[in-house]
Amino acid sequence: MAKMIKLVSGDGAEFEVEEEVAFQSKIIKDIVADADDVIPLPTVSSKVLIQVIEYCRKHAAVNSFPLSPSSSAAAAASSSSSISYSKPVSDPALRAWDNEFVKLNNSSLFDIVIAANYLDIEELVDLVLETVADRIKGKQAQEIRRQFNIENDFTPEEEEALRRENSWAFQNN
């Protein structure tokens, strides 16, 4: 029987997950090393925690039971390397799963990346950041503001000057 770890979300819900699933989070791995099996996560809501656990479960399964020798080699290589982005997930089936996973609105994605950052789940942070970067690609400044809920704090003159300076970036598709 696999060892179970209990995660407690910010709003008090408890989730029991297998150790290897929970260990996708480096933070949790360290805490458990100090012999603590119940881990409170006050800053993570249930909704977000469920999604994070889903991701971890999928990736733990792939990492332990590689579908092919090449994907296991890639998994081993990626787990030993230091932080580097654009580290593509080699297994196409897993990549497809990841792409489905991130089909969420920005609000949910931000919640997930904040939680994954807190829990130190490198691949999930990377995945969401890549997704967000893709979403702002090709967008005008006003659309970026809308997506991120940012207030335009430039004066009209400043904005005009900036647009002129960066006019090359605004050529429409």
Partner 1 sequence: MKRPSIEVSGGGSGELLLDEDNNKRSRSGGVYIEAVAPEEEGPLAVAELGEDLVLEVLKRADAWTLGRAACVSRRWRRLAEDEGLWEAACTRDWVKVPCGKQQLRSVVLALGGFRRLHSLYILPFLAPSARRPGSGSLALALQPPVSGRSRHQPRWGKDEVQLSLSLLSIGFFEKMNPNTITRRLGGG
Interface residues toward partner 1, by CB under 8 A:
11, 13, 45-47, 50, 54, 85-86, 100, 103-108, 110-111, 113-114, 117, 125, 129-130, 132-141, 143-154, 159, 162-163, 166, 168-171, 173
- Residue 126 CB, shortest distance to partner 1, in Å, is 9
Helices (H), the chain: 19-22, 26-33, 46-64, 69-80, 92-101, 106-119, 122-136, 141-148, 156-165
- Residue 43 CB, shortest distance to partner 1, in Å, is 11
- Residue 34 CB, shortest distance to partner 1, in Å, is 27
C-alpha 72/C-alpha 74 separation (Å) is: 5
Taking the least distance from each CB to partner 1, the nearer of 31 and 132 is 132
- Residue 153 CB, shortest distance to partner 1, in Å, is 5
Q: Using alpha carbons only, what angle is made at residue 88 by residues 80 and 97, rounded to the nearest 5 degrees?
A: 110
Taking the least distance from each CB to partner 1, the nearer of 1 and 172 is 172
Taking the least distance from each CB to partner 1, the nearer of 25 and 51 is 51
- The single-letter DSSP state of residue 23 is T
C-alpha 26/C-alpha 140 separation (Å) is: 37
Contact 49, 15 (CB under 8 A): yes
Token pair of 121 as six digits? 């789940």
Contact 41, 9 (CB under 8 A): yes
- Residue 162 CB, shortest distance to partner 1, in Å, is 5
Taking the least distance from each CB to partner 1, the nearer of 90 and 108 is 108
Token pair of 147 as six digits? 């997506």
Taking the least distance from each CB to partner 1, the nearer of 79 and 85 is 85
